[in-house]
Amino acid sequence: MPYSEQIVQSVRPWSDKTFSFTLSRPRDFSFENGEFVTIGLKREGKLLARAYSIVSTTDRDHLEFLSIHVPDGPLTSQLVHIRPGDSVWVNSKATGSLTLNHVLPGRTLYMLATGTGLAPFLSLIRDPELYARYENVVLVHSVRTVAELAYRTEIEAIDNAQLRYVPTVTREPFPTPERGGDLFRSGVLSQRLGLPAPDPAHDRVMICGNPAMTRELTHHLKETGWTPTGHRGIGNFTTEVAFVVHHE
């Protein structure tokens, strides 16, 4: 059986569109920070499953996930109702392209996320190895409403001078109303943070979020001399293409 039955330990609503939850961790389940795994619910004997990035770090005894709630989504419309004690099925194999092995070490690492695309970066920013590989780590999280800034308090409480957290909110009043991708592309992001302009020779980029943002930034980076990680080798930017399944 590639899937094992795990128990819901906690559920945390963030907004009417987002929530997080923790599950028991399968005994022999191994993963790298930044990876995703397929999880699902059994309904009428059939498993309905989707890929979810793992929020929790590899050293924890539970698995944590951040989910969007799509009212007519086959899985999330049911997943939003889970409560402690319920069962969720977890695949035995994790994978993904947002691990530290998927991008070269360098000067500044830019992590650009929209919505629940924040999830893989939450595990990475808690990993000491990240700060050994980069002088600066910039985490940009773009959402529509303030309530969707999941884990904001926890991120702001991380005591590490190398980490710069930039939340942006596009549809409610907020100090940073711009989209994160636009801030990065225009050079305004690095200027505001007092960092050198992003340079493919020195800096690195990870992208996780809605498909339009991923496409726009991938196009921009390729046009300006950046190389994606792929079958040809490790580049200076990487994206999580599997993330599209989060938006069922």
Instruction: List, for residues 149-166, the tens digit of each pLDDT value.
Output: 999 999 999 999 999 999
Dihedral angle computed from the Cα positions of residues 84, 90, 94 and 96, in that order, rounded to the nearest 10 degrees: -70
Strands 62-68 and 36-43: unpaired
- Domain ranges, ordered by start, for the chain: 3-95, 100-246
pLDDT band, very low/low/confident/very high, at 243 (cuts 50, 70, 90)? low
So what's the pLDDT on residue 118?
97
pLDDT band, very low/low/confident/very high, at 245 (cuts 50, 70, 90)? very low
Mean pLDDT of 221-227: 97
So what's the pLDDT on residue 96?
95
What's the full length of the chain, in residues?
Answer: 248
Residue 167 scores a pLDDT above 90: yes
Q: How far apart are CA 89 and CA 110, in angstroms?
A: 33
User: Which residues, in sequence order, are bridge partners of residue 54?
Assistant: 65
CATH of domain 100-246: 3.40.50.80
pLDDT band, very low/low/confident/very high, at 242 (cuts 50, 70, 90)? confident
pTM of the model: 0.96
CATH of domain 3-95: 2.40.30.10
Instruction: List, for residues 64-122, the tens digit of each pLDDT value.
Output: 999 999 999 999 999 999 999 999 999 999 999 999 999 999 999 999 999 999 999 99
